[in-house]
């Protein structure tokens, strides 16, 4: 006759077995992590690493195992690759010097990256959820016949990741069984990389010299002495409530300068021509998480909130006390922005 264990017996059994089971689990986990090998895709512009590269490395280091950086372009060994080699806990940097990859055109960069992934036998490939990463990594995933995991904000294990969907209203946990995990990461969710103290080896990558069906013609970049929007510790954003481009330029830059802040804008403001597209914050723009986010004349549509709700302190100025932005704001000022913003700017200058 089979005996039935009582709850107290089961608890005692678990107590006796748990220490050894935990030890075995930890040793197996440690052994598995040693087998992990992650390739972090580094973005460079003019030989200088972009801030998004640091978030990529931070996410790769969180996975455990060895971390290798990858960079390609003209003369990158003496510039971007050398800069990356100083990052602490980066094992090596794979560099491919070729003018054809300088602008990161995905038509030839994707075959280049896929070839180096195969030759390096990497288990994970991580890039930033930036314009560069979103353009490149889906093509790489297709070449490797795996499914990409996009815009992750947390890593639970080597095969389980967390990402927001529906403009951040739902948090999804995704588990992948693909042999190679191709991932893009949200830059604001991964920080803390030490940029000095490392001594990674710089090695030559494989260059398949893939032909590109596109040609880089030119670019017209907005230049500013203000902090970069994606990495700024303070951001002042203007919305449709400013009513015109002239009013946007009259009110927002002086306020931003008085705070030492970057300038952002809502999609409504960008679509109305008040601000450049590069300043757009939101689901279809940039994700920011500054210490201070000041929203001026922004109602707080869900698409905008998705790009800034991780900010440490959110302040808002709006004449509508029922505006959705006040539901997430830590500090709110109800009033006419055309009166309040100049007054606030003057007080900050003093």
pLDDT in tens, 1-52: 333 433 333 333 333 444 455 554 444 444 444 479 999 999 999 899 998 8
Give the chain's mean pLDDT.
88
- CATH superfamily, domain 234-349, is TPP-binding domain (3.40.50.1220)
pLDDT at 222: 67
Residue 9 vs residue 162, higher pLDDT = 162
**SS3 letters across 268-306:** HHHHCCCCCHHHEECCCCECCCCCEEEEECCCCCHHHHH
Nearest to 239 by CA among 297, 281, 285, 278: 297
Question: How confident is residue 87, by pLDDT bands cut at 50, 70 and 90?
Answer: very high
What percent of the chain is predicted at pLDDT more than 90?
Answer: 71
pLDDT in tens, 166-201: 878 899 999 999 999 999 999 888 988 898 988 899
pLDDT at 227: 85
Quote the CA–CA distance of 63 and 155 in Å, as a whole number.
7
The whole-number average pLDDT for the span 316-343 is 96
First to last CA, the chain: 87
| DSSP structure class, residue 226 | S
pLDDT at 56: 95
Fold match, 35-204 / 234-349: yes
pLDDT at 168: 80
Domain parsing of the chain, residue ranges: 35-204, 234-349
Domain 35-204 has CATH 3.40.50.620: yes
Q: What is the pTM of this model?
A: 0.79
pLDDT at 20: 52
What percent of the chain is predicted at pLDDT more than 70?
Answer: 90
**Order of all β-strands in the sheet with 160-165:** 154-157, 160-165, 170-175
- Whether 269 contacts 242, CB under 8 Å: yes
């Amino acid at each position: 006759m089979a005996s039935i264990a009582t709850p107290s017996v089961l608890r005692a059994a678990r107590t006796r077995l748990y220490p050894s089971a935990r030890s075995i689990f930890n040793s197996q986990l440690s052994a598995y992590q040693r087998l992990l090998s992650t390739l972090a895709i580094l973005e460079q512009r003019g030989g200088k690493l972009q801030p998004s590269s640091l978030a990529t490395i931070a996410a790769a280091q969180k996975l455990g195992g060895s971390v290798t950086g990858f960079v390609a372009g003209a003369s990158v060994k003496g510039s971007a690759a050398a800069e990356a080699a100083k990052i602490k806990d980066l094992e090596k940097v794979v560099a491919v010097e070729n003018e054809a990859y300088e602008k990161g055109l995905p038509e030839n960069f994707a075959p280049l990256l896929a070839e180096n992934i195969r030759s390096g036998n990497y288990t994970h490939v991580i890039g930033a959820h930036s314009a560069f990463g979103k353009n490149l990594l889906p093509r790489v995933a297709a070449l490797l016949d795996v499914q990409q995991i996009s815009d992750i904000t947390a890593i639970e294990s080597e095969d389980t990741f967390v990402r927001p969907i529906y403009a951040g209203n739902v948090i999804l946990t995704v588990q992948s069984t693909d042999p190679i995990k191709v991932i893009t990461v949200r830059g604001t969710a991964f920080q803390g990389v030490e940029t000095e103290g490392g001594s990674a080896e710089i090695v030559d990558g494989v260059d398949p010299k893939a032909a590109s069906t596109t040609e880089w013609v030119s670019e017209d970049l907005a230049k500013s002495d203000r902090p970069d929007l994606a990495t700024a510790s303070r951001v002042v954003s203007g919305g449709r409530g400013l009513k015109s481009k002239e009013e946007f330029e009259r009110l927002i830059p002086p306020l931003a300068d008085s705070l030492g802040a970057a300038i952002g804008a809502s999609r409504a403001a960008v679509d109305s021509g008040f601000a450049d597209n590069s300043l757009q914050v939101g689901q279809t723009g940039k994700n920011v998480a500054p210490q201070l986010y000041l929203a001026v004349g922004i109602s707080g549509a869900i698409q905008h909130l998705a790009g800034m709700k991780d900010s440490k302190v959110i302040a808002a100025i709006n004449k509508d006390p029922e505006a959705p932005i006040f539901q997430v704001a830590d500090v709110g000022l109800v009033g006419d922005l055309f009166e309040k913003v100049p007054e606030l700017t003057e007080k900050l200058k003093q």
